Amino acid sequence: MSIENEETELECHADKGCDAIDLIIQPQEKDLGEFSVRRTLPNKERKTVGPWIFFDHMGPAIFPAGSGINVRPHPHINLATVTYLFEGEILHRDSLGSFATITPGDINLMVAGKGITHSERERPEVNNVDHTLHGLQLWLALPEKDEEIEPAFYHYPSADIPATKVNGVPLRVLMGSAYGLTSPVLTYAETLYVEAHLQTGQSLTLPNCAERAIYVAKGSLKIKDTFIPEFAMVILSEAEGVLIEATAESRIAVIGGEKMGKRYIEWNFISSRKERIEQAKQDWRDGKFAKVVGDEKEFIPY
**What's the DSSP call for residue 209?**
-
- 57 forms beta bridges with 38, 136
Whether residue 143 has a cis bond before it, omega within 30° of 0: no
* Rounded CA separation 53/269 (Å): 11
* Rounded CA separation 255/52 (Å): 8
* Rounded CA separation 137/126 (Å): 20
* Higher-pLDDT residue of 13, 154: 154
**What's the DSSP call for residue 293?**
T
Summarised one tens digit per residue, pLDDT across range 83-115 is 999 999 999 999 999 999 999 999 999 999 999
- 169 forms beta bridges with 166
Summarised one tens digit per residue, pLDDT across range 18-75 is 689 999 999 999 877 667 899 999 998 899 999 999 999 998 999 999 998 899 999 9
The pLDDT score that the predictor gives to residue 5 is 40
Summarised one tens digit per residue, pLDDT across range 115-145 is 999 999 999 999 999 999 999 999 999 999 9
- Average pLDDT (151-166) is 98
* Rounded CA separation 93/69 (Å): 13
Summarised one tens digit per residue, pLDDT across range 265-274 is 999 999 999 9
Q: How many CB atoms lie within 10 A of CB 165?
A: 10
Q: Please give the angle made by the CA atoms of 228, 231 and 233, to the nearest 5 degrees.
A: 65
Across the beta sheet with 163-166, the strand order is 21-25, 233-236, 211-218, 250-257, 191-198, 169-175, 163-166
Q: Cβ(133)–Cβ(87) under 8 Å?
A: yes
The pLDDT score that the predictor gives to residue 36 is 81
Q: Categorise residue 78: left if φ over 0, alpha if ψ from -120 to 50, beta otherwise.
A: left
The pLDDT score that the predictor gives to residue 133 is 94
Q: What percent of the chain has pLDDT over 70?
A: 93
Q: Where are the alpha helices (DSSP H) in 39-167?
A: 124-127
Residue 14 pLDDT more than 90? no
- Average pLDDT (237-256) is 96
- Average pLDDT (144-153) is 98
Give the up-direction half-sphere exposure of residue 221: CA atoms within 13 A in the CB hemisphere. 31
- Average pLDDT (238-247) is 95
The pLDDT score that the predictor gives to residue 13 is 34
pLDDT category of residue 16 using cuts at 50, 70 and 90: very low
Maximum alpha-carbon separation in the chain: 56
- 74 forms beta bridges with 118
Does the domain at residues 14-279 carry the CATH identifier 2.60.120.10? yes
* Rounded CA separation 129/35 (Å): 17
The pLDDT score that the predictor gives to residue 35 is 73
Residue 1 pLDDT more than 80? no
Residue 17 pLDDT more than 70? no
Kindly report the pTM of this predicted structure: 0.91
The pLDDT score that the predictor gives to residue 31 is 78
Q: How many CB atoms lie within 10 A of CB 174?
A: 26
Task: State the chain's mean pLDDT as an integer.
Answer: 92
Summarised one tens digit per residue, pLDDT across range 287-297 is 999 999 999 99
Q: What percent of the chain has pLDDT over 90?
A: 88
**What's the DSSP call for residue 156?**
E
Amino acid letter, residue 190: E
